Structure 1
Amino acid sequence: AAVDALVEEWKGQGRRARRLSVSHAFHSALMEPMLAEFGVITAELEYQRPQLAVVSNVTGAVIEQFDAEYWVRHVRQAVRFADSVAYMADAGVSRFLELGPDGVLSGMGQQCVDALFVPALRRDRDEPQSLLTAIGRLWESGIDLDWTALYAGRDGQTVDLPTYPFQHDHYWLRLATTGDVTSAGITAADHPLLAAVVALPKSGEVVLTGRISTGTVPWLRDHTVLGSVLFPGTGFVELAIRAGDEVGHGHLEELTLQAPLVIADDDAVVLRVVVGAESGGRRSVTIYSQSGDGWIGHATGLLTQVRATALADTQWPPAGARAIAVDDLYPNAAEQGFAYGPAFRGLRAAWRRGTDVFAEVSLPEDAEAGGYGLHPALLDAALHAIGLGELFPDDGKARLPFAWNGVTLHAAGATHLRVHLSPAGGDAIALTATDPSGVPVVVIDELAFRAVSAGQLETRPAEHLYRLDWTAGPASDAEWDGTLVHVDGLDVDGLTGSPDAAVLTAPDSGSPAADVTAVLAAAQHWLADHRFASSRLVVVTGTDPGQAAIAGLVRSAENESPGRFLIVAADAPVPDGLLRAALAAGEPEVAVRDGALLVPRLVRAVPAADSVPVFGADSVVLVTGGTGGL
C-alpha cells in the first residue's frame, strides 16, 4: 500500500512511475535483515582483480578490487547509475553498448549525458536483426569492428564501393495534378492535394476533390510506417482546414481518423472532402478515398469559424529548459517502424522542461510549402519531438495520431516552426507553434494517439467481404500488475483512491432499457471523476441481447474516450486472473468462453460450399428481362 501511495504521489506530480515486478526491495532498508548472512556467504568466495576497467554502480567510479564487503554494500546501497555514466563520459567515453534483454538502460543513459547509447537487444523484436542493427550503429559511429569474427563460417567477402558519390538528379517528367476545371463549370481548389471545388445546390454542402499518388506528391514516399506508405494524419488535418476555409469555417473543432489511407506505389488515390450544411454555427467534414466502386471514410469532424487564440510571448530557447540530443531520434524511430524519408526528417533541435518538450523543425530546402495551409510534413515533424520526452509510456508500441481537437491555423506557408508540446492526459498532447519571429502559426488543444500494428496497415483488395470472428488472444508473457478493485453494484462514486482498474458487473434486471440507462450514468460518473483519469473501467456483460445493448453503449464510450473502458463479454463469472489477463492484452473488448480469453478480429468472409448454386440438366431457371417482358 505504501508503494502504491508513492506511485500515485509521483504520478500526481506529472512524473513517470511504475511499480516494479521484483522479488525483493533491493537497495533499501528492507534488505538489512539478510546482510550479515549474505556477508558470510560472499566471504567464502575467491576474488580476482578485474581484467577490464569496471565502473561500479556502488561508488560511481572505477573499482580496483572486489571483496565480500563490496557485494554486501551492493545489495543495500543506492544504485548510482547516473554517477557511473557521468564518470565514463568525463573519462572520454562517447558510445555505450547495452548488453541485456531490452533498451531500458540506454533510455536512462540518454537522460544523463550526451552520448550514443545502443541496446544490443530489444524486447519483442527479432534478436539477430536487433544485434546486427546495434553493430551497424556502432560501426556508423566510428567503432572499429572485427568483421571476421562476425562473418566467421559464413563465406563473407568484401566488395569495392564506387570511388565517387552516386548522382541524385531526377529526370522523370512531373505529371500535372490539375487541368482547366473551370471549363467543366467547377472552381479550381488551388491546393497541391485538391483540384476542384463543387458547391451543391439547395443542400448547402460543398465537395472538394483531388487525385494523388506518390508520383504527383513525391513527399508521400517519405512517410513509411510499419512497411506501408501511409497518408499522414497531418494530411487529413490539412484537407479539413482547406475545406473549412472554403466555407468560412477555418477552425477544426474536432477530427477523428477512422481508417488509415495506405498508398501503393502504382496507385492513384481519388480524394473527396465533403463539407455539410451549416447547423448551429458548425459544419461537418468527412474525408473519403475511392476504392473500386465504393468509398472508404477516413476521417470525420466538425468545423467552426476561426477563433482568437492568445499565445504567450515566451523566451527562446525556453527559460529553464535543458537541451536534448536529437541525432538518434530517427534511427530509433526506424527501429519502431517509422521509416521517415528526407521530407519528414525536419527535427533540428529540442529541449525539455519537466514533462514539456520544445523543438525547432523545418522543411528541407527543396520542399514546396506554397499552396498548403501548413505542409503536412512540417506538422508531422513537429510531433516527432514526442519521442524525446516522457509524454507516452516507453512500451515499444508504434503510435499514430487519431483524434484532433481544437486546431487553429493562424498563418499559412510556414517552413520553420518553434514548437511547444505538453501532456494533455492519457495518450494525448497539446501543441502550440510559432514561426522564428514568434508569430503564431498553429494551435492544437488536444491530440490523442493510438497504438497500431503492421496488420492494421496492410492493403487488401476492396472487393473482399469481412466478418467479425472471436479468436484466441495472442500469447504473451506480459503481466498486468496494477491495482484491481470491484465496484459495489453501480456505485462508481463509492470507490476509494485511484485504482488502476475497476470492475463493474452489468446489471440484468430484465429491463434492457433500464439497465442501459443505469450503466450510462455509471460511465458518466467514471469519466467525470478526476480520480480515475488514468484508470480503466472493466464492464463485464453477459451474452444475451439485453447485455449486448450495454456492450454497445460502452463501446461508444470507449471510442469517444480511448483507453478508459474495457468490455468483457462472458458466459460465466470471470475470476480476477482472467480479468488481469484481459487488461494485459491491451484490447478494448474481449470475450470469455469456457474459461478461455478471446479477442475480436476481422476475417475474410468465405461463402459456404453449399451456398453456391449448382445448375444441372433438370434444373429450373427463371429468366427475367431476357425476352423483353414476362
Structure 2
Amino acid sequence: MVSNLTGRLADPDHITTPAYWVQHIRQAVRFADGIHTLHTNDVRHYLELGPDPVLTALVNETTGGDATGTAVLRNGHPEPVTLLTAVARVHAAGAPAAGLTAHLGAPRTLPDLPTYPFQRERHWFTATAPGDVASAGLTATGHPLLTAEAELPDPGGLLLTGRVNATAPAWAADHAVFGTPVMPGVAFVDMLLHAAARTGCNRVEELTHHVFLALPERGALQLRVLVRPADDAGRRAFVVHTRPEDAPYGSDWTCHVTGTLTDAPAAADAPAADPAADAPWPPASAERLDTDGFYRRIADTGLGYGPVFQGMRAAWQDGDTLYAEVSLPSGTGPERYGVHPGLLDSALHPFLLATADGTDGAIHVPFSWSGVTLHATGAHALRVRMARPAPETVSLEVTDPSGAPVLTADSLVLRPVRPEQLEAARSDRDGALHEVVWHTVPAPSGAAAPGEGEKWALIGDGGDPVVAAASAVIGSAARTYPDVTALRAALRAGTARPETVVAR
C-alpha cells in the first residue's frame, strides 16, 4: 500500500492515526511520487476504480508508457463489457487474470479453437451511391465523397456537393479522434485533388485546415466544395463548408478548409519513373523502427484507428528522414479515390511513430499542406519517404512498390490538438430530438418598467445573439460595452455608474 500523503510505502503505525487522515484531507496528493514508488517496486499494471477514466492517462504519462493502465468504468458504456475489457487488456499485457475473473461469472469451460486460420466473410450491406442526380440539374462525378457537381455561371467556378455522416463513407467509424468520428485531413486533400482535375488544375498549391469535420451519428451533413474562377496567374481559390442537412434555410455554414489550386508546374516535376528504382529499399543506412503495438499505444492517447486506417506495415529511420511501407487491408480496394484516405492517412503514421516518445500526450494532425500533386491512382500499397526539415513539418514522396510516383507534397505542417478543440466541430444538435428555445413571456402585472438612465451595463459583443436579446429586453436602461476596459474608460469619462453589470 502506498500513501497518497507521502508518495511512499505506507507506515502501518502512521496511517492508523487521526492526525494522518487530517493531513490526508488538508495536504496535496502526491500522485506522481506514489506511481514512481509503485514503478520502483515492479508494478506494471494499473486498474482505475472510478466513475470515469481520469487517472489512467496520468499513469501512462508518469511511467513514460512503461506500464498498462486502464479503467474498469466508463460513462455511457455497459459495466460488464468495460470491466471485462479492462481485465483482458492487463492480461494481454502480462498480468495474471485468473484471480480477477474468478467472480465474473465467466464460463468454466474453454472451447477449443480451430486449428486453421479464421475465414472472415463480411455480411454488412455496402451503402449504394445516390440515385440519378441529372434530374436535379447536376452532374454525377463518380467520386465517393463529392458525388455531384454544378458548373456555375457568371463569374464562373465549380460547386461540388456530397453528404457525409458517421456511416457514410463506410470507413468513417475507423477514424476517431478522442472518441469522435472525424473526417481525416487527407480526405480533404483527395477531394481537392479531384476538384483540381475537374477544373484543369494539376496540383493543390495551398490547403489549410480550420475546423475539424466531426461526423454525426444521427442525421447527416451537407458537404460543399466551392472552387472559384481562376485569377490572372491561373490560381483558383477554394473553400469547403458543411451544414446539417435538416438546418433551416439561412442557417450558418461551417468553414473547414480553404486554399488554392493551380495549373502552374511544380518547381521540380516528379519523373515518370523512379530513376533509382534499382536502389535498395529502404536505404542500407536506415534503422528499422518497432511498429509492434503502435496502434494500441496511440489508441490510448485518443486516436482510434479501425482496420482501414491501420495500414503501416513497416517503418525505418535515417536521421531526419523516415521510410515506411503501407497498404490497405484485405477486402478494401482503392475505389474511385485518387489515393484512398485510409492508405494516405497511414502514410503519415511514421511521423506519429517517430515522435511518440517526445510528445506531451497531444495528438498531431495535419494543419496545412503545400504543393500536393497526384501522379497516379488505384494504389493498394505504397512506399513512403518522409523528410522532417522541422519538428512539425514534413515533405512527402509516395510511390507504388515498383518506385513509380503516386503523390508528392512539398510541405505538410502538423499541429497538436486536444479534446476541447473538437467541441467547435460538433454540430449544435447532432441529430438530437430536443433543443433549447427561449420563449418570450409577459412581465408580471406589478413589475415596474425599467427606469430611464443607464442603470445596466452589458459587457459583450453587440453582435452576439444573447447580448442583443438582453439589450432588447432591458431597453434604454442599458448600455453595451465590448469589454471591461471600455466600461472603466466610460466611468472615468464621467458616465453614471450602473446599478447592475452583466458580462457574457
TM-score w.r.t. the length of structure 1 is 0.52
Aligned to 1:326: 291
Cα contact 1:434–1:442 (8 A) shared by 2: yes
**Which range moved further: 377-386 or 423-432?**
423-432
Please report how far the alpha carbon of residue 301 of structure 1 lies from its aligned counterpart in structure 2 after TM superposition: 0.6
**Residue segments in structure 1 that go unaligned for 5+ positions in a row:** 1-94, 108-116, 466-603, 615-630
Q: Map 1:242-391; keep pairs closer than 5 Å.
A: 242-279=194-231, 280-291=233-244, 292=247, 293-305=251-263, 307=266, 308-310=269-271, 313=276, 314-390=279-355
**Residue segments in structure 2 that go unaligned for 5+ positions in a row:** 1-41, 47-55, 75-82, 430-434, 438-463, 475-504
Letter in 2 for 1:450: R
Please report how far the alpha carbon of residue 431 of structure 1 lies from its aligned counterpart in structure 2 after TM superposition: 1.3
Q: How far does the alpha carbon of each residue in 1:198-240 deviate from its partner, in whole angstroms, 9 at most, with x for none?
A: 1111212111111123433110110011010000000110111
Cα contact 1:333–1:339 (8 A) shared by 2: yes
Counterparts of 1:278 and 1:391, CA distance in 2: 42
Q: How far does the alpha carbon of each residue in 1:413-462 deviate from its partner, in whole angstroms, 9 at most, with x for none?
A: 11100011121314111111100000001111111111111122132416
Please report how far the alpha carbon of residue 189 of structure 1 lies from its aligned counterpart in structure 2 after TM superposition: 0.8
Q: Map 1:185-584; keep pairs closer than 5 Å.
A: 185-279=137-231, 280-291=233-244, 292=247, 293-305=251-263, 307=266, 308-310=269-271, 313=276, 314-390=279-355, 393-458=358-423, 459-461=426-428
Aligned to 1:627: none
CA RMSD of aligned residues (A): 3.7
Cα contact 2:206–2:260 (8 A) shared by 1: yes
Q: How far does the alpha carbon of each residue in 1:468-497 deviate from its partner, in whole angstroms, 9 at most, with x for none?
A: xxxxxxxxxxxxxxxxxxxxxxxxxxxxxx
Q: How far does the alpha carbon of each residue in 1:504-542 deviate from its partner, in whole angstroms, 9 at most, with x for none?
A: xxxxxxxxxxxxxxxxxxxxxxxxxxxxxxxxxxxxxxx
Please report how far the alpha carbon of residue 134 of structure 1 lies from its aligned counterpart in structure 2 after TM superposition: 9.1
Tell me if 1:158 matches 2:111.
no
Tell me if 1:145 matches 2:79.
no
Aligned to 1:29: none
* Identity among equivalent pairs (%): 37
Over 3 Å counting, the alpha-carbon distance change for 1:127 and 1:374 in structure 2 is: same
Over 3 Å counting, the alpha-carbon distance change for 1:221 and 1:295 in structure 2 is: same
Over 3 Å counting, the alpha-carbon distance change for 1:172 and 1:367 in structure 2 is: closer
Over 3 Å counting, the alpha-carbon distance change for 1:460 and 1:215 in structure 2 is: closer
Letter in 2 for 1:119: A
Please report how far the alpha carbon of residue 394 of structure 1 lies from its aligned counterpart in structure 2 after TM superposition: 2.2
Larger RCO, structure (CA 8 Å, separation 6 or more): 2
Letter in 2 for 1:220: A
Cα contact 2:224–2:240 (8 A) shared by 1: yes
TM-score w.r.t. the length of structure 2 is 0.64
Please report how far the alpha carbon of residue 196 of structure 1 lies from its aligned counterpart in structure 2 after TM superposition: 1.4
Please report how far the alpha carbon of residue 168 of structure 1 lies from its aligned counterpart in structure 2 after TM superposition: 7.0
Cα contact 1:273–1:286 (8 A) shared by 2: yes
- What is the count of residue pairs matched by the alignment? 366
Please report how far the alpha carbon of residue 336 of structure 1 lies from its aligned counterpart in structure 2 after TM superposition: 0.6
Over 3 Å counting, the alpha-carbon distance change for 1:353 and 1:195 in structure 2 is: same
Letter in 1 for 2:428: P
Cα contact 1:344–1:381 (8 A) shared by 2: yes
> SS state of the match for residue 210, structure 1?
strand
Over 3 Å counting, the alpha-carbon distance change for 1:339 and 1:446 in structure 2 is: same
Cα contact 1:195–1:209 (8 A) shared by 2: yes
Q: How far does the alpha carbon of each residue in 1:584-627 deviate from its partner, in whole angstroms, 9 at most, with x for none?
A: xxxxxxxxxxxxxxxxxxxx97458855659xxxxxxxxxxxxx
